[in-house]
Amino acid sequence: MVSSNAASIGFLPRADGSGSFVSGRTSIIASVTGPMEVRIRDEHPQKAHVEVIVRPAIGVTSTREKYLEARLLSALKPLILRSNHPRTLIQIVVQVVQTAGTDENASTTLLLLAPAMNAAVLALLDAAVPLKSVLAATTVAFMKGSGGVVVEPGLDELKNSASTHVLAFTSTGQLGFVESDGEFEYEDFERVVEAGRGVCSVEQKGHHAMDTEAKYHAVGELIRKIMSQKVEMDMRWRA
């Protein structure tokens, strides 16, 4: 089962860019501010400093948020053309709005990672921060016994899975980020990657592929659709 995805951008008036991503019962918003003044201790003479802050839905920041921050930073930092704005700060704030599960085990944390990454990428695109490529992320579960591959699993499917993988692909279809949990064989992993690549493709497809079903959107297509709507709106004056 593929859960329904939804996204939007530009809803925070005080931030330079904002994006939200809803995948099933997981909902995340992200904002981007920058390039702006940087603290002296973070200043880099040749590059922009990138900072990711993850805020939980309830309570205070714990190791779980720090883990998400570290993972997001490792995926987003290479994406940004940091040398275009030396001695500045690009701040990405990710706010968890709703989570699928309440128990704090590794798997439910992994479910947050892909939506958080997509929300952050949308916010970066909205803020017009110079990027090398577009990253689209998804979660893929490898099921116990049957060996089936489930893209964007729900909580029940996650419980019956042998391994869970968060994958992100660039617009050229290259694997840009992997985070896995569980036991799996290399052959299984290859199948997981292929399944993930299918939904993450940002490539322009034919019109029939765009409007097959209104509710379901593959991540890559969704990002493309949201951004082209924004550009269309920005250029509306010309009509």
Partner 1 sequence: MTTMLLFPGDVVPELPTPQKTNTALKVGPGLTYTPPDKVVAHRVGELHVDDRKCAVWMEGNGKRYIPSLNDAVIATVLRSTSDSYILAIPSSTSPAPASIQALLPHLAFPQATKKTRPILHPGCTVYARVSLANKHMDPELECYDAESQKAEGFGELKGGMVFNVSLGMARRLLGDGKKIRQLQLRARKAEGTEAEGGEISNGMEVLEELGRVLAFEIAVGRNGRVWVDSEDTKVTLCVGSCIQKSEYLTGDEQRALVREALRKL
Q: How many CB atoms lie within 10 A of CB 55?
A: 14
Nearer to partner 1, 15 or 116 (CB): 15
By CB under 8 A, tell whether 123 contacts partner 1: no
* Exposure of 183 in the CB half-sphere (CA atoms within 13 A): 2
Of 24 and 35, nearer to partner 1 (C-beta) is: 35
Residue 84 as a binder of partner 1 (CB under 8 A): the answer is yes
Burial 156-166 (b: 16+ CB within 10 A, else e): ebbeebbbbbb
Q: Is 193 exposed, middle or buried (0-12, 13-18, 19+ CB in 10 A)?
A: middle
Q: Which stretch binds partner 1 (CB under 8 A): 8-16, 53-61, 148-156, 181-189?
A: 8-16
d(CA 224, CA 32): 19
- Identity of the residue, 81 or 209, whose beta carbon is nearer to partner 1 in the bound complex: 81
Nearer to partner 1, 85 or 165 (CB): 85
The verdict on 106 binding partner 1 (CB under 8 A) reads no
Smallest separation (angstroms) from partner 1 to the CB of 31: 11
Side chain identity at 12, as an amino acid letter? L
Site for partner 1 in 135-194 (CB under 8 A): 170-172
Identity of residue 23? S
Contact positions vs partner 1 (CB under 8 A)? 13-17, 33-37, 81, 84-87, 125, 127-134, 170-172, 202, 224, 227-228, 230-231, 233-239
